[in-house]
Structure 1
Amino acid sequence: MATNAVKSKKSTPRSDKTSARIWFYSLLLTLQYGAQPLISKRFIRREVIVTSSVLTCEIAKVICALFFMTKDGTLKKVYNEWTLVGALTASGLPAAIYALQNSLLQISYKNLDSLTFSMLNQTKIFFTAIFTYFIMRQKQSIQQIGALFLLIIAAVLLSIGEGSSKGTSSADAEQILFYGIIPVLVASVLSGLASSLCQWASQVKKHSSYLMTVEMSFVGCLCLLLSTSKSPDGEAIRQHGFFYGWTPLTLIPVIFNALGGILVGLVTSHAGGVRKGFVIVSALLVTAMMQFIFEGKPPSLYCLVALPIVVCSISIYQKYPYQVKKKEL
């Protein structure tokens, strides 16, 4: 008994330190996640080619991750232990998925208001829970399953509202549906799959989150570069140049997004893909507040109805985790 007490006392500082680190990363991610839609909309012009901004963001991620690895002294160790097979196993598939997801999000940014985009993007939690169950056998409680269904109801509500509440032409409604709502929902599915794969690599395979960022960015860049041979973006780059439509301010959302990608890796590695719920709740509030402050645009009726549903669903999910039943002797 005494030995167990000593062990628990010794483990407490480490546990507290890890918890504080998770809260710190989560706070930063909350600010980034909440502000990103507004920053992207304000500083990325519609003429900017999506592939050019995504590629630049991936390069910025690599630079940031290498800087952090150099700072904490893990770069040399990671370099000596790195293998191509290990990199492809841990990061290859998630990288390709994230590359497609980022492109879809860039399209959606331009065709939805910031708060609607953020709330629709929350469906990634539902898909993360599904993929986490199949990949890592992480079960959900009855309350958590109910909370995830509430989240989907909110997403459907927003989809109907965005398509019908503006009172504009059917062409505008189709623009919102096919270039705003559908891309962000597909991106949420891809995000859930990639997040589960990353959690598996970091928690089961013990792969460094910074290293995964570098590997995934390289693979993502290769996928995007290959796609430019046939894609409209590739044709636009060849015709107008890589930085067509860019201004010096365009770098702000690109770098901001790159830092967010690193923070997502850190939070997923330490807390898991689904247990980022409070980050997303806080990010929704940050988005709504910033949209009102900087754009003078109050949330729509549909957003006001859907917002408490989203908040309740994620709060319930966090409050009632799955409990493993102890077998009676």
Structure 2
Amino acid sequence: MAVENVSVGFKVYCLTVMTLVAATYTVSLRYTRTIPSGELYFSTTAVCLTEVIKLFLSLGMLAKETGSPSRLKNSVMEHIFYSPKELLKLSVPSIVYAIQNNMAFLALSNLDAAVYQVTYQLKIPCTALCTVLMLHRSLSRLQWGSVFMLCVGVTLVQWKPVEATKVQIEQNPYLDSWPSPSPSSALDSQARVYFEKVLKSSDTSLWVRNIQMYLSGIVVTLIGVFVTDGDKVQEKGFFFGYTPWVCFVVFLASVGGLYTSVVVKYTDNIMKGFSAAAAIVLSTVASVLLFGLQITLTFASGALLVCVSIYLYGLPKQDTTKLPRPEADKELKEKLLPV
């Protein structure tokens, strides 16, 4: 398995950027869906446009990596046009991401940004399970305990839904009380673990893998546009309802998608979840200021449990395999005996 060696500082930088992008994206998306300044835009077109932008950004990064137009052309021909099996392989996460991204718009049309951020952390136990099954890794008892704690925290957050006094549209009461990010987080975790497995199982460039995935993603999301909003798009236009805020959301989604690939490539996939605690805090503060979110005791308790569980989950596992069992027991007794 090919794993890149990078500095701790670079990993911290990536996770910090991911935290800021995740919090800002969630709050901005919630704003565009609940406090519109005009007619509401089509979420399917925003998801499709995001895939297009990510494709062009990945092509730019691949051009920088290859160093010359001729090498870029050769790389694209080799890995895109002459590798249909690889394109098919990367179509799996692209389909899942397309569904997940559209579900995010649905969820944030009915859930507050802070509630969404907390509930969406169900991706951590889903990712943990997928990691064990697909990547054959093991989790410590502390990690499994933190997963259980996280589920309890999410349950508390959803127990009595919080209210936002400044939201200007009517929300679906069923989706508002049901943890709609749950299936989204399950899909997200499966796609990320699958993508991690593909990335780290070969030496193929990260940007080549992104291009392969985004090409499939564009096709899938275009189908989604015409199946879901085809008549409306033909009548009003692809960019109907777009405002600077909507463009900002699309930009954040594009940057976030690329940074997710970098995090998956250069760190462990589930490391991305550790920045979620800070994103929850930032989203909560922004929700109070922008949407008039009323914090309840159950929400605060649940959010705290989720943050603590994320911290515990990220603690390094103790290595007990270096010493044979008898020698390990002997060393432990020596440490416990008084001097």
Q: Same fold (TM over 0.5)?
A: yes
Q: Percent identity?
A: 20
- For residue 12 of structure 2, what is the amino acid of its counterpart? W
Which structure has greater helix proportion? Answer: 1
Q: Aligned-pair distance for 1:292?
A: 3.6
Q: 1:80 to 1:127 in 2, by over 3 A?
A: same
The corresponding residue for 1:107 is 106
For 1:133-282, what aligned pairs fall within 5 Å after superposition? 133-162=132-161, 172-177=172-177, 181-182=179-180, 184-231=181-228, 233-282=229-278
Name the SS of the counterpart of 2:7 in structure 1.
helix
> Residues 161 and 176 of structure 2 are in contact (CA less than 8 Å); yes or no, is this contact kept in structure 1?
yes
> Residues 164 and 291 of structure 2 are in contact (CA less than 8 Å); yes or no, is this contact kept in structure 1?
no
Q: 1:259 to 1:281 in 2, by over 3 A?
A: same
Q: 1:273 to 1:322 in 2, by over 3 A?
A: farther
> Residues 164 and 173 of structure 1 are in contact (CA less than 8 Å); yes or no, is this contact kept in structure 2?
no
Q: 1:227 to 1:257 in 2, by over 3 A?
A: closer
**Per-residue CA shift, 1:88-122, capped at 9, x if unaligned?**
22x11011100100000011111111110111111
For 1:293-304, what aligned pairs fall within 5 Å after superposition? 293-295=289-291, 297=293, 299-304=295-300
Between 280-289 and 47-56, report the one with greater CA deviation. 280-289
Q: 1:322 to 1:60 in 2, by over 3 A?
A: farther
The corresponding residue for 1:9 is none
User: Which runs of 4 or more aligned residues in structure 1 lie more than 6 Å from their structure 2 counterparts after TM superposition?
Assistant: 163-166
- For residue 111 of structure 2, what is the amino acid of its counterpart? L
Between 75-84 and 58-67, report the one with greater CA deviation. 75-84
Separation in structure 2 between the aligned mates of residue 294 and residue 42 of structure 1, nearest angstrom: 8
Tell whether 2:47 aligns with 1:58. no
Separation in structure 1 between the aligned mates of residue 53 and residue 164 of structure 2, nearest angstrom: 39
Question: What TM-score do you get using the length of structure 1 for normalisation?
Answer: 0.84
Tell whether 2:27 aligns with 1:38. yes
> Residues 140 and 322 of structure 1 are in contact (CA less than 8 Å); yes or no, is this contact kept in structure 2?
no
Cα RMSD (Å): 2.6
The corresponding residue for 1:20 is 9
**Per-residue CA shift, 1:258-315, capped at 9, x if unaligned?**
0000001100111122122321122112222333444454533332111110111111
Separation in structure 1 between the aligned mates of residue 117 and residue 203 of structure 2, nearest angstrom: 31
5+ long unaligned stretches in structure 2: 166-170, 326-339
- For residue 241 of structure 2, what is the amino acid of its counterpart? G
5+ long unaligned stretches in structure 1: 1-13
Question: What TM-score do you get using the length of structure 2 for normalisation?
Answer: 0.82
> Residues 19 and 275 of structure 2 are in contact (CA less than 8 Å); yes or no, is this contact kept in structure 1?
yes
> Residues 162 and 295 of structure 2 are in contact (CA less than 8 Å); yes or no, is this contact kept in structure 1?
no
- For residue 205 of structure 1, what is the amino acid of its counterpart? S
Tell whether 2:65 aligns with 1:72. yes
Separation in structure 2 between the aligned mates of residue 21 and residue 165 of structure 1, nearest angstrom: 37
> Residues 47 and 101 of structure 2 are in contact (CA less than 8 Å); yes or no, is this contact kept in structure 1?
yes
> Residues 281 and 311 of structure 1 are in contact (CA less than 8 Å); yes or no, is this contact kept in structure 2?
yes
Q: Aligned-pair distance for 1:241?
A: 2.2
Aligned residues: 306
Q: 1:249 to 1:229 in 2, by over 3 A?
A: closer
Q: 1:60 to 1:129 in 2, by over 3 A?
A: same
Name the SS of the counterpart of 1:319 in structure 2.
coil
Separation in structure 1 between the aligned mates of residue 153 and residue 215 of structure 2, nearest angstrom: 36
**Per-residue CA shift, 1:193-246, capped at 9, x if unaligned?**
001001101111334332232222221221122234543x22332333222222
Tell whether 2:84 aligns with 1:84. yes
Between 275-284 and 50-59, report the one with greater CA deviation. 275-284
Separation in structure 2 between the aligned mates of residue 187 and residue 309 of structure 1, nearest angstrom: 21
- For residue 203 of structure 1, what is the amino acid of its counterpart? K
Higher Cα Rg, which structure: 2
